[in-house]
Every structure is written in structure tokens, then in C-alpha cells.
A and B are shown apart, each in its own frame.
Chain A
Amino acid sequence: MTVGRTGAPASYGVSELARLPKLGGLFAKGVAGSVGKRPKDAVRLPEVTYRVVGVDTTAEAAHLAAYLRLVGEPSSDVLPAGFLHVLAFPLATAVMVRGDFPLPLLGLVHLRNVARVLRPVRLGETLEVRAWAQDARAHRRGVQVDLVAEVLVDGDLAYRGVSTYLAKGFTAPDGAASADESPREEWAPPLPTARWKLGGGTGRAYGAVSGDQNPIHTSKLGARAFGFPRAIAHGMYVAARALAEVGPARRGETYEWTVEFFKPVLLPGTVDVSIRNVADVDPTGSAGGSGPASGYVYDGWRSGKNTRHFGGTVRPV
């Protein structure tokens, strides 16, 4: 994880955009562009940072309210990490639909997401948003790459999100590190603390507030085209609900929010969820290792089954 570092690698150039692009047009371009992007040579990422300054959030009030209501955040003028992800997503997508971005937008699998809020971002503040791709590295099924998005307020880094995607069948560049793939440990569901009944329209509803209208989330036909029997929930939607569940009072003003995706959630579907304080998961702190020292850990799985959908952490920073 490269969360601690800020800014793009030193070799990257900066390309200024006048405003944040619209996702609709980018998707069209991404779909068209995906056709030509096939595994050939080793993957080389474009060394460019997209940057938009002067993003005025005043106009986002209604959008924010709709987002907060959908994911279950209390009404607020503070933009939660999930909303900042949504805000910066078009810019990251713009990087991914560039002709020289070697991986096809269609078929990229979102493996995990690590986001940090380093200072609260409020409605009405003017933002600088940056996005770039970095760290193409080998994955046993292809190549994985990080799309990094940063949000700055008054020149200070307020948010940094790292979305890791997998492109199956592609090859990592020579000398690239291998992805950290510790073998998946056996997993058994804990006792649930909540149950989410996700209706058939869940993907369309999150698509409407996030702009991510990828057909695998919004229609059965679209999902079938990619081998899923039904539409699947947006990963960032379930992760955002978990973040909302922990809530502003417990995660604090600055926090880290991580999620790892396993099997997708088919819609409609019932997800059993466990969102627990770290102290309750590991009261003695004896487990050590990778677990966070404080905050919350969450897991989601198919109700009544051992099918794990997602897992992550929310912890104050």
C-alpha cells in the first residue's frame, strides 16, 4: 500500500483539465477503447497526473444529500471518504480511458480500496483533484494497477484514495514487484451484527448518485454479458455503507477506510454483516500482525453461507 506517500511519482508530468469530466462520455470512450487493448507486451502505464483545480463543492449540496441518504450517513456538510471517491472517480477514469493506458476499462476487476481522510472536507470548500495510475505489478491472474486520487484543500492533502484493479491476462513490466498475495486463509463467518437486504434496484440507485452506471451493476443483461447471472452491487456502495455504519462519531474527523472485495454481491440479495470494534475482535491484542490497533473491522458474506463478499477496516488516523 502506498497510502503514506503523497503526490505522483517524480517522473510523471501534469496534465491540467479545466473541470472534472463527466463519467457518461468517459464510459463510452472506455467501452470503445477497450476493444483494442489486448495483452501484448508488458504493461506500461502513462506517466501523467490529471489535475483539476478550483473544483467548487457549493453546487454539490443536493448530490451530497442524495449520497448520504443512500449509504446511510447522517445528514452533514462534511464529505465522507466515499463521496470524495465518487467526486474524484471521473478523473481517475479519464486516466484509464486514455489511448496509452494499456488496460481495457471493461473487465477491470476492483480488488481493493484504501482511502484516508487527512482533514475533513466541507461543502463549500474549493478543491484540487488529482489522479494517476501507478505501480503495475504482477498478479497470479494478470497484472494489477493502482489508480490514485488525491483531493487537496488550500494546498493541503485532505484525501487520498488508492483503488487497486486487476486486468486478467496482462503481463507486468520487467522488474515490477509482485503483488502481495498471501494465500487466502480459511474463512468462517463470525456472528453477524447486521443484515442488509439489497433490493434489485440497489445498483441503479448507487449508479445514480455515483455516476457509475456500468451495466454489470444496473441490469441483468449487462451483468450476463460479463458472466454474472444477475446485476452485482457496486463494491464501493457496500463499503460506503460499512463506513456509514461506523459513523462520524466513531471514526473521527480523520480516518482510514479500507475494503477488499471477494465474491460479488448478486442483486437482489441478503448480506450478513459483522462490524465490530477491534477491541471485541481481539480483546487482548494478542493476534498482532496486520490488524489495526483501533477502530472497526467489517465483513460481509452471503446470509446463511460461507460466501465472503467483502471485508475491511475503518480506523481513526
Chain B
Amino acid sequence: MSTTPSPVPSTREAVIIGGNRIPFSRAGKKYVRTSNQDMFTAALEGLVARFGLQGERLGEVAGGAVLKHSKNFNLIRESVLGSSLSPATPAYDVQQACATGLEAAIAVTNKIKLGQIESAIAGGTDTVSDAPIVVSDRLRAALLDANHAKTTGAKIKALLPVLSHPKWLAPVSPSTGEPRTHLSMGEHQAITTAKWGITREDQDEVAYSSHQNLARAWESGFFDDLVTPYKGLTRDDNLRPDTSLEKLAKLKPVFGTSLEGAATMTAGNSTPLTDGASTVLFSSREWAEERDLPILAKFVDAETAAVDFVHGHEGLLMAPAAAVPRLLARNGLTLEDIDFFEIHEAFASTVLTTLAAWEDEEYCRTELGLDGAFGKIDRSKLNVNGSSLAAGHPFAATGGRIIATAAKLVAAKAAETGRPARALISVCAAGGLGAVAIVESA
């Protein structure tokens, strides 16, 4: 941990041209019976239209979904085939829980930097409304046995136990519970929240700011060239411009209610289950210039991390706390060099525990291998145009939403000040994972 980071190798740049997503919608609302492929294709087509990519053979398209049916084994390739991109555009699926979208971006930008491809789209999609339902393990075992049986008699014999166990027929809904701990993500974060002593008021404040900031961004037209309306939805329908700290304070805690001490995490300061899809267009500088496409920003560098959460050494969603110091050190940067912090709001307290960790000397020394506290960030630079608490969080689509927002923010800031501007992106994910990246004005 304390080894000196190797310098970033010199490669050519990967630039961000722009992004497109569909409005995010709370589960069970506008996008009921809309598949991951439907939504990703829609987001992709919007991007194609925005940048005139019809018939274009791109280097590749990478993305994924967290809740994915096994029949969607080539989800992204199938979406490409349903788009007006050239069918000669290769594609592949990525899955890293909530970091899927950002990890897809890391993968394609690395290929661009190495000169393996000139252009790429990265993104993600997720639906809770159209999530796959699976059969119980026992029914599955019986069906597989029957399938493998050679004779009709053997097939019937394999299925007989099902008749006497009608409960086996009950379908199993997907869950966001951690496979090893059987705790939901919210329960895990409630434990981390309790450990760090994060207050209800601070969490509600983060949620309130998220709604205020996202509402202002929508009003100011910030998302006009980032979002394409879909299925009658023109804005993220989780957004509550009229919410207040008083309203948020009235909500009942939903996570951590069995822990000692008052529970603090509510439906208001936790992200709702959401449907949606997002895409971002990347390329080499030359490719964009040849086509006269705008260059918003550079995708500078990225880092992933993981923490040992299974036995409670670290909180489930704390990996970005470890990833960011490593990323900044490698790039010779400090927190002061960052103009925008885009920290994914899985829960308001995820943001707050991450910030608290960076301010804690002891933690930074023992867990991060630093000489002292990593530092304090200026809250006025945090999620300035809202984040997942207000926009919603269709797991794999969140990375694309954030990258496009960050690219536009740094481009505008650089244009305004005449100086380079930087954004730091941080996304936590199930499995104790985290992915972080630096985006800099081009």
C-alpha cells in the first residue's frame, strides 16, 4: 500500500465527445415491460443521432446490466444490431455491479489510448421492473436431472419430488443482498454508517442538496444534450424539486433498524430502485477532429479497488475511499486539484462515510497507508448537478450518467476560467468494489 505508485505510462489521449441517456424512472412506473435491451438500444440510438453516427463502424461498444437474464448473454451486441450503427461494430458485455458503466468506460478508453481502437461507446442499463425471475434451486436441480435423464421413466422420477413439494415452484426474485453475508446493501451501509457515527441530519442534507442541484440542472437546460426522452418521460421521475429537509426528516428509517442506536437511513436518503440506460461516446482526438465532433474532456486515468467487507473489516461500499488516494497519487494530484467531485450517492451516508474516512488520520494511516489524513473536500464542489439520490440509480447506467455530467462540467468550467478543470468520479459497488476516474477538460 505504501509503495510508490508507478507513473502513468505515456499513451495517446482518450477523449469524451458526449453522452446520452434516457430519463431514469422509478421501478414499476414508466418503463414497466421495457427490457434492458430496449432501454440500452434507445440510449444508443439517441447518441447515434446526436453525433451522426448512422452506419458508422465504431471500434467497439461495451456495457452491461447488473440484473441480467441468461438469454441476454450478448446484451450489448444485440443492442448494437438493433441500432443504426454499422453491424460491423463489435461489442461485449461487462458486469461489475454498480461500477459496470464506469468499468466499461475504463476498458474502452484503455483500448483507445493503446491505439487498438479509434472510437467506442461505453454504457450500461438496468431494469428492476423487467428483472429476470428465476426458479428455486431445488426445482432447477429437478429440471436439470430430468433433462439429463435418458428414459421417460427416469425423467418422470426426477420430477416426482416437485409434485410433493409445491413450495419449490415459487419463483425467486432477484435481490441486491450480498451473497456471502445475506445482508442487503442498505443493511451493510447502515453498519458502516453506525461505525462512523454519521447523523440523520447530515444524510438528509445530502439528499436535499441532490434534489435541489439536479432540479436546478434540469431547469438550466444542462441535460438538454445529455438525455433523450423515452416512453413519454422527459425528466428523471424520481426528482423531487419540492422536497424539503422537513419532509425528509419525517421519513421512517428503513435500514439499520435492528442495530443498537437510532436508525438513520430512510427511503429519502437512500437511492430508489430505478430503471434506465446511459451511453458515452469516446474516441481518439484525431477521430473526433476528423469528424468535427466536439471534444468535451479527456478520460485521464482510473483505478479500481476492493475491500474486505465479508468479515466486517471494512464497510461494503468503502472501496472508493481506498481507490481515490491511489489514483490521485499516481497522477501527482491532491484533493485541492479537483474542481468537481462526482461521488455516486448509493446512499447519502456512502458519500459521508467516504468523506469522513478521508478526514480521519488514524484510518488513512492504518487502512490507506498514507502519512496522515487524506484531506477534506470543499462541499460546494460535490455533486453540483445532483446525483443518484435525486436522479435514481439504474445500477449499470449510473457510470455513464456521471461521466457525461462530469465531462460537461469540466468543459464549461475550463471555458469560463480559461484554465484546465478536473472532475473526480467515484462509484462504489456490491462485492466491496469501487471504481474511480479522473476526467479533465480537453
Contacts and interface: CB of A to CB of B under 8 A. Distances in A.
Contacts of B181: 193-195
Nearest to A72: B180
Interface stretch (B41-49, B203-211, B257-265): B257-265
Interface stretch (A35-43, A130-138, A184-192): A184-192
B381 interface: no
Given A188-B260, A272-B258, A304-B257, A193 B312 contact: yes
A304 B256 CA distance: 9
A188 B191 CA distance: 16
A197 B194 contact: no
Contacts of B260: 188-189
Contacts of A188: 260
B191 A191 contact: yes
Contact of B311 (A196, A296, A304): A296
Contact of B313 (A189, A194, A280): A280
Given A272-B258, A303-B258, A304-B258, A193 B182 contact: no
Contacts of A275: 310-312
A276 B182 contact: no
A193 B310 CA distance: 7
B312 A191 contact: yes
A196 B182 contact: yes
B265 to A, nearest CB: 14
Interface in B40-72: none
Nearest to A274: B312
A280 B309 CA distance: 12
Place the interface of chain B in its size category: 10 to 19
Contacts, number: 45
B311 A193 contact: yes
Nearest to B366: A283
A219 interface: no
A34 interface: no
B93 interface: no
B195 interface: yes
Contact of A276 (B183, B194, B195, B311): B311
Nearest to B181: A194
Counting chain A CB atoms within 10 Å of each CB, the highest count among B194, B260, B312 belongs to B312
A126 interface: no
A277 interface: yes
B258 A191 contact: no
A257 to B, nearest CB: 16
Contacts of B195: 191
A277 B310 CA distance: 10
Interface in A148-204: 188-189, 191-197
Contacts of B257: 304
Interface in A79-134: none
B18 to A, nearest CB: 43
B429 to A, nearest CB: 19
Counting chain A CB atoms within 10 Å of each CB, the highest count among B180, B182, B195, B258 belongs to B258
Given A304-B257, A304-B258, A194 B194 contact: no
B187 interface: yes
Interface in B272-327: 310-313
A191 B311 contact: no
Nearest to B258: A304
Given A303-B258, A304-B258, A192 B182 contact: no
B183 A194 contact: yes
Nearest to A188: B260
Interface in B170-222: 180-183, 187, 191, 194-195
Contacts of B258: 272, 303-304
B302 to A, nearest CB: 29
A304 B183 CA distance: 14
A103 B182 CA distance: 40
A159 B258 CA distance: 39
A272 B194 CA distance: 16
A194 B191 contact: no
A245 B182 CA distance: 11
A172 B260 CA distance: 42
Contacts of A274: 312
A194 B180 contact: yes
A188 B259 CA distance: 11
Interface string A203-232: 000000000000000000000000000000
Given A192-B259, A277-B311, A277-B313, 18 more contacts: A188-B260, A191-B194, A191-B195, A191-B312, A192-B191, A193-B181, A193-B183, A193-B310, A193-B311, A193-B312, A194-B182, A194-B183, A195-B181, A197-B182, A272-B258, A275-B312, A276-B311, A304-B258
Listed from nearest, the 7 A-B pairs whose CB atoms lie closest are A304-B258, A193-B312, A194-B181, A303-B258, A191-B191, A195-B183, A280-B313
26 contacts: A191-B191, A191-B194, A191-B195, A191-B312, A192-B191, A193-B181, A193-B183, A193-B191, A193-B310, A193-B311, A194-B180, A194-B183, A195-B181, A195-B182, A196-B182, A197-B182, A272-B258, A274-B312, A275-B311, A277-B311, A277-B313, A280-B311, A296-B311, A303-B258, A304-B257, A304-B258
Interface of B: 180-183, 187, 191, 194-195, 257-260, 310-313
